[in-house]
Copies of this chain bind each other. A is one copy, B any other.
Amino acid sequence: MEYTVQKLGKLAGVSTRTLRYYDEIGILKPARINSSGYRIYGQKEVDLLQQILFYRELGVSLDQIKKIVTSPSFDLTHALKEHRDKLLAKREQLDKLIANVDKTLATREGRMTMTDQEKFEGFKQKLIDENEKMYGEEIRSKYGNEVVDQSNQKLKNMTKEQYAEVEKLSEDILSTLKKAFATGDPAGELAQKAADLHRRWLLFYWDGYTKEAHASVAQMYVDDERFTAYYDKVGTGAAEFLRDAIHIYTGIKK
């Protein structure tokens, strides 16, 4: 049986380029070249190619393979042992890399959750505390703990993408609030949009959204100086403005 490059390539599962390359580096020469300059391979070459591909499978370099297949006295066992040593060293190196990447990831994730917590923990606690203060023991025993638990769960399960969305919402709230604040009308379209964004933002933390809780948080923004300061970045009195807008949005007035 005789083969052209493509036929042999298909037979062995290699590209024609590979066969030409093997010819070029002298590792597998065709049995003959026909009158048109085509490479013609015979059975012997098929067998040799199989040999070559076998060693290639083992990760042996073509240079080494060449030595193996061209020199009959080549000490294959020794070569393979050396090759195995190299592979083992490589794996050790890989293991180190993997361990390092893992460690780095762990550190980063540790930092990430810390950052998350730094960002939210205080706020969350504040929310809970204020909530409690506002609604008192009665309401807390009713659904306060539940809300707290869910909030904690949500925070812990939040993905980076979700976090990014939350941040975007935060920014949107501020920018919308700024425009709304400029109109001076808490019942206006912009102010109501800000209130709606704020509701969506809250949904990232609360499962059991209620108008009452929303209104209560809005009041808190006015009562707690830290939140007041945060929203007053938009303009002096913005916290009150947002509270008014939310109270209108929720239909609840305290």
Contact = CB atoms under 8 A, between A and B. Distances in A.
Interface stretch (A18-26, A36-44, A82-90): A82-90
A102 interface: yes
Contacts of A76: 108
A203 interface: no
Given A58-B100, A100-B58, A105 B84 contact: yes
A253 interface: no
Contacts of A77: 105, 108-109, 112, 160
Contacts of A136: none
Identical chains bound together, number: 2
A105 B80 contact: yes
Contacts of A105: 77, 80-81, 84
Contacts of A75: 160
Contacts of A57: 97, 100
22 contacts: A57-B97, A58-B97, A59-B94, A59-B97, A75-B160, A77-B105, A77-B108, A77-B109, A77-B112, A77-B160, A78-B160, A80-B101, A80-B105, A80-B108, A83-B101, A84-B105, A87-B94, A87-B97, A90-B94, A91-B94, A91-B98, A94-B94
Interface of A: 57-59, 75-78, 80-81, 83-84, 87-88, 90-91, 94-95, 97-98, 100-102, 104-105, 108-109, 112, 160
